[in-house]
Structure 1
Amino acid sequence: MNRILPKWTFCLAVFCMPFCAQSQVLISLIFGDALNSEKVEFGLTGGMNRSYLSGITSAEGLNNFNLGFYFHIRMKENSFISTGVLVKSNVGAKGMPTYSLDDPAFDGIFEEGSLTKKINYFYVPIMWQQRIQKRWLLEGGIQAGLRSKAFDIFEVERNEGDLEFKTEVGDQLSRLDAGLVGGLGYKLKEDLKSMSVGILYYQGLVDIAKSDSQISKNSSLNFFLRIPIGAKGE
């Protein structure tokens, strides 16, 4: 049920996030040794994501965190297939004007507020990874996403305290997303399996809005850290 909540309730969500992260790390630690082999590297990936929505007036970039698993499958000496699943991956935008919900009392409260759109996806990238001088990583390929939930978040600042209203809008968006992804990374050690950092850019090619009056596509800039689990340097 939709409710108007004080903005401080956001702190509770932030407090709960580490428990979700810990459960995924635990799974990685349990299965890391079994999934890593001479030709396969398995690990945990996470980082910050700056996402955008095209076709929406006044939309600004939205900062999110993502977390998931990755696989690097060795094809040749310095060539790999890089794939995996981003289990927690949010996209969307903020700073948009609010809209009417045909409730005069509600509209009066949030008329001067701002709207944030947050969409939860399970993303699966499939990229070709080329390693240069053992440390530099060039990656490029495709990425598909399956939407789980989507929310419009109304926010307004008032003298008596900030207010927030959150409503589910998944029925307004398509279930699937897909596009192109690519970027650059750097391995912190020359070992075949070692931690790496980098940046990936995703450009969605699918119009995710069901409305005929609007075309909207996802895009995002992802700063990642990859940590191999159960792997020994080679």
Structure 2
Amino acid sequence: MPNKVKIFFLFLFFLTSIKGNAQIIIGLLFGEALNTEKIEFGLTGGLNRSNFNGYNESEGLNNFNLGFYFHVMLKENSFVSTGVLIRSNVGATGMPTYLLDDPGFDEVFMDGVLTTKVNYFYVPIMYQRRIKNRMLLEGGIQPGLRSRAFDYFNLESNGGDLEFRKNVSDDFTRLDFGLVGGMGYKLKNELKSMSVGVLYYYGLVDVKKNTDAKVNNSSLNVYLRIPIGTGK
């Protein structure tokens, strides 16, 4: 199949399959077309530990990230590292619940725990420096676009768990922006090979509306990057 045809179907498939795990199928089918001599394309995923900076009553929340990446060569050992995190929840847990003006509900969840999960499409844009073709140092900016946000009211009662989910998307800003940086290690001494590493994101935007506290997103991401279409 010609590369132009592959790219056309990739674009069409992406538009119609943005929800779910279509990105994995896209990478497996079209990775060869997206990889060139100076561009590395692949899938990235891993564990993400997020927090609400500025919200003292909150605790860290564990999530999973999934997306794809591009490494564009500028010159030897210098790259632009970018991509899109399609599934990237941030938020926090361990917070006290709040009243919903429903006496029955408020009484049940009075002693419960509140967890907030906010889904963003993050686009890291980083300068990457490679040392001896194995060690990766990278840093830059990371804008994000919010899609949905939910508050989860959780309560352990009589040996069971009760949960209520409330859509709170309008309580958060549509856009997020911050600084991102970290380091990684390529598992093979090759230009295009799997790598593992860590990235830390510090948000500069007060993302929570209608509150006196200033709330900024932050997250620590442990990732695995897998190039697609680079060979057997």
TM-score under structure 1 length normalisation: 0.89
Partner of 1:88: 87
1:214 deviates by 2.1
Letter in 1 for 2:71: H
Quote the residue 1:209 is aligned against: 208
Query: Residue deviations 1:144-197, cap 9 Å, x none?
Result: 000000000000000062100000001111000000000000000001000000
User: How far apart, in 1, do the equivalents of 2:100 and 2:209 lie?
Assistant: 18
Please state how far the C-alpha of 1:58 moved relative to its aligned partner.
1.5
Residue 224 of structure 1 aligns to which amino acid in structure 2? Y
Unaligned 5+ runs, structure 2: 1-18
What residue is the counterpart of 1:68 in the other structure?
67
Cα distance between partner residues in 1 of 2:159 and 2:187: 50
Contact 1:194 1:228 in 2 (8 A): yes
The equivalences for 1:1-234 within 5 A come to 20-21=20-21, 23-159=22-158, 161-232=160-231
Residues 24-33 or 148-157, more deviating: 24-33
8 Å Cα contact 1:88-1:120 kept in structure 2 = yes
- Structure 1 window deviating more from structure 2 (23-32 vs 168-177): it is 23-32
CA contact (8 A) 1:197 1:224 kept: yes
Residue type of the partner of 1:47?
Answer: G
CA shift, 1:54, in A, is 1.6
For the residues of structure 2 that align with 1:103 and 1:54, how far apart are their CA atoms?
Answer: 30
Cα RMSD for the two superposed structures: 1.3
1:212 deviates by 4.5
CA contact (8 A) 1:57 1:96 kept: no
**Equivalent residues of 1:193, 1:232 under 8 A apart:** no
Distance in 1 between residues matched to 2:97 and 2:81, nearest whole Å: 40
User: Partners of 1:91 and 1:75 in 2: how far apart?
Assistant: 32
1:53-90 CA-to-partner distances (Å, cap 9, x unmatched) read 02223200000001000000000100000000000000
Aligned-partner SS, 2:190: coil
CA distance in 1, matches of 2:110, 2:95: 12
Per-residue CA distance 1:7-62 (angstroms, 9 max, x = gap): xxxxxxxxxxxx944x3211101110000000000000000000000222320000
Contact kept, 8 Å, 1:142 with 1:178, in 2: the verdict is yes
Query: With structure 2 as the length reference, what TM-score do the two structures score?
Result: 0.90
8 Å CA contact retained: 1:47, 1:225: yes
* In structure 2, distance between residues paired with 1:76 and 1:161: 58
CA positional deviation for 1:215:
1.0
| Matched residue type, 1:178 | F
Q: 2:134 is aligned with what amino acid?
A: R
Count how many residue pairs are aligned between Structure 1 and Structure 2. 214
Name structure 1 gaps, 5 residues minimum: 1-18
